[in-house]
Chains A and B, each alone.
Chain A
Amino acid sequence: MNNEFTASSQKYDAVVIGVSAGGLNALTTLLPKLPNDFPMPVIIVQHRASDSDNFLIEHLGRLSNLQVKEAEVGELAQAGFIYLAPANYHLLIERNRHFSLNVDPPVSYAIPSVDVLFYSAARCFGEQLIGVVLTGANSDGTQGLKEIKQLGGLTIVQQPETAQERYMPDAAIAETKVDYVLPLLQIGQLLTALAEGGVE
């Protein structure tokens, strides 16, 4: 089915996604594309208002083949789950793959910040990490994606022309020589293919 991408042997252990304005639509399109046996955790920072937590989780949970939940302190990141950062906290992942949170100042005006998650995930997963930047109207995620690339991870950015807000994808692409620039549906296909054994 994912004939566009042919197999290679690179194995990945986690996907991190950063998304801001336009994120509800983007995640609504992307997440249902991941199969229920998707073999690695998906960890998302979505900028949003503090009181929309439950709505977002329930909404995405209904559409997704995977279980969607808020990441909790001390919880082990596992396959089968899509984790969302809680509002008003930075989400980080420790080297033992357990989540942690903090209330440090906003980064690029954002808390949770994509950069903060990406930095820690890059340190935790190194080459086994896939970083994805989607629609958004600020530059959060740019530095983090660069870090993922520098530590050998795979970088994917939503094609700016197809993004509801292209600022965040543009910023990421300007700073890093990213591996793939794709529309949402193809990002879904690519992630699935990578999970099944990778692509050339």
Chain B
Amino acid sequence: MPSKNELWVFEVDLLLEAIFFRYGYDFRHYSRASLERRVENRLALSDLSSPSEMITKVLHEPAFFELFLKDMSITVTDMFRDPHVFRVIREVVFKQLRTYSRVNIWHAGCATGEEVYSMAIMLHEEGLLKRTRIYATDYNNRSLEVAQQGIYPVEKMQEFTANYHEAGGKGSLADYYQAKYEYAKINDIFNASITFANHNLVKDQVFAQMNLIVCRNVLIYFDQHLQDQVLTLFANSLVHRGYLVLGDKETLALSKVQDEFECVSYEQRIYRKLAKV
């Protein structure tokens, strides 16, 4: 007889199959431990006792699937998260981007947009914003809505401000938002430069040639197979000598595409695509 634990694994497998079959969202290659925590949380919140019970609801209640999808995207993000990375992007990567007349940047897995506005602010301060198109994508529409509005809890601004200065900010972060009651709204000046769009890294394709791709703290949610698939997508999307920036704990070291890149800064996880030989 299978153990309780084995039964649980089997049920979660079936749940992921059901979701894929019914909605086309493929979570079968997500990191399992993190995913199971979310399943567990959802069971508790919806007062269900097993993943099997979730299967019935997922198959027959699209609204319940929406909840699960939301669960899968609940993460934490900040403006200028890991400020040292933004500093090196500003100092090293921008120097190269400056040599192009048009620049495309892709934030993949942009969540609620804090990282995107951080980039836009730096581009603005370095006089690069006008020539740049930023594509900011996520597969979660609710996150994209928040991102598009650019409205954040005002109490986070203190931390963001500290990050901004550590990241080499040249002015004052307060120049870029309006605080009202408990919210801070990022200024509209960035709207024209940023395109927010739904894009699922698991199944959607390359949509433009990029000079810089920023994909931070997304790959940690994927297993090696899916990481390879997504990194291949990035490699195909980058122009020759284009840049790729990953999260602080993510690396190309174990991936299939590592030979296609050189490391600009291992510490900041900044890579550059090699010219074709």
> Would B75 and A151 count as touching, CB distance under 8 A?
no
Q: How far is the CB of A135 from chain B (nearest CB, A)?
A: 26
Q: How far is the CB of B60 from chain A (nearest CB, A)?
A: 28
Q: What are the residues of chain B within 8 A of A4 when measuring CB–CB?
A: none
Alpha-carbon separation in the docked complex, A86 to B34 (Å):
16
State the interface size on chain A (CB cutoff 8 A): 25
Interface residues of A in 32-91 (CB under 8 A from B): 72-74, 86, 89-90
The yes or no answer to A130 lying at the interface (CB within 8 A) is no
> Would A104 and B74 count as touching, CB distance under 8 A?
yes
Pick from B76, B77, B249: contact of A101, CB below 8 A: B249
> Would A104 and B37 count as touching, CB distance under 8 A?
yes
Alpha-carbon separation in the docked complex, A104 to B30 (Å):
14
The yes or no answer to B220 lying at the interface (CB within 8 A) is yes
Q: What are the residues of chain B within 8 A of A151 when measuring CB–CB?
A: 4-5
> Would B74 and A105 count as touching, CB distance under 8 A?
yes
> Would A116 and B32 count as touching, CB distance under 8 A?
no
Pick from B3, B9, B34: contact of A100, CB below 8 A: B34
The yes or no answer to A94 lying at the interface (CB within 8 A) is yes
Q: What are the residues of chain B within 8 A of A106 when measuring CB–CB?
A: 76
Output the nearest chain B residue to A89 by Cβ-Cβ distance. B249
Alpha-carbon separation in the docked complex, A89 to B5 (Å):
26
Alpha-carbon separation in the docked complex, A4 to B64 (Å):
55
The yes or no answer to B217 lying at the interface (CB within 8 A) is yes
Alpha-carbon separation in the docked complex, A95 to B3 (Å):
14
Q: How far is the CB of B138 from chain A (nearest CB, A)?
A: 14
Q: What are the residues of chain A within 8 A of B32 when measuring CB–CB?
A: 94-95
How would residues 228 to 249 of chain B score, 1 for a CB under 8 Å from any chain A CB and 0 otherwise?
0000000000000000000001
Pick from B3, B9, B221, B254: contact of A102, CB below 8 A: B221
Output the nearest chain B residue to A95 by Cβ-Cβ distance. B32
Q: What are the residues of chain A within 8 A of B251 when measuring CB–CB?
A: 73
With contact pairs A73-B250, A100-B220, A119-B37 given, residues A105 and B5 touching in the complex (Cβ less than 8 Å): no
Q: What are the residues of chain B within 8 A of A102 when measuring CB–CB?
A: 31, 34, 75, 220-221
- Counting chain B residues whose Cβ lies within 8 A of the other chain, the interface size class is 20 to 34
The yes or no answer to B36 lying at the interface (CB within 8 A) is yes
Q: What are the residues of chain B within 8 A of A72 when measuring CB–CB?
A: 249
Pick from B3, B34, B76, B250: contact of A92, CB below 8 A: B34
Alpha-carbon separation in the docked complex, A153 to B254 (Å):
33
Q: What are the residues of chain A within 8 A of B220 when measuring CB–CB?
A: 73, 89, 100-103
Q: What are the residues of chain A within 8 A of B250 when measuring CB–CB?
A: 73
Q: What are the residues of chain A within 8 A of B40 when measuring CB–CB?
A: 119
With contact pairs A73-B250, A103-B217 given, residues A116 and B9 touching in the complex (Cβ less than 8 Å): no
Q: How far is the CB of B220 from chain A (nearest CB, A)?
A: 5
Q: What are the residues of chain B within 8 A of A86 when measuring CB–CB?
A: 249
Interface residues of A in 101-141 (CB under 8 A from B): 101-106, 111, 116, 119-120, 123-124, 126
Q: What are the residues of chain A within 8 A of B254 when measuring CB–CB?
A: 74
Q: How far is the CB of B79 from chain A (nearest CB, A)?
A: 15
Q: What are the residues of chain A within 8 A of B34 when measuring CB–CB?
A: 90, 92, 100, 102, 104
The yes or no answer to B45 lying at the interface (CB within 8 A) is no
Alpha-carbon separation in the docked complex, A119 to B32 (Å):
12
Output the nearest chain A residue to B247 by Cβ-Cβ distance. A103
> Would A104 and B75 count as touching, CB distance under 8 A?
yes
> Would A103 and B36 count as touching, CB distance under 8 A?
no
Output the nearest chain B residue to A115 by Cβ-Cβ distance. B37
> Would B33 and A93 count as touching, CB distance under 8 A?
yes
Alpha-carbon separation in the docked complex, A111 to B77 (Å):
13
Output the nearest chain A residue to B227 by Cβ-Cβ distance. A74
25 CB < 8 A contacts A-B: A73-B249, A90-B34, A92-B31, A92-B33, A93-B33, A94-B32, A95-B33, A100-B31, A100-B33, A100-B220, A102-B31, A103-B75, A103-B76, A103-B77, A103-B220, A104-B75, A104-B76, A105-B75, A105-B76, A116-B37, A119-B37, A120-B33, A120-B36, A123-B8, A126-B5
* B interface, CB within 8 angstroms of A: 3-5, 8-9, 31-34, 36-37, 40, 74-77, 217, 220-221, 224, 249-251, 254
9 shortest A-B CB distances, which residue pairs?
Answer: A92-B33, A120-B33, A102-B34, A100-B31, A103-B217, A94-B33, A101-B220, A103-B75, A101-B249
* A interface, CB within 8 angstroms of B: 72-74, 86, 89-90, 92-95, 100-106, 111, 116, 119-120, 123-124, 126, 151
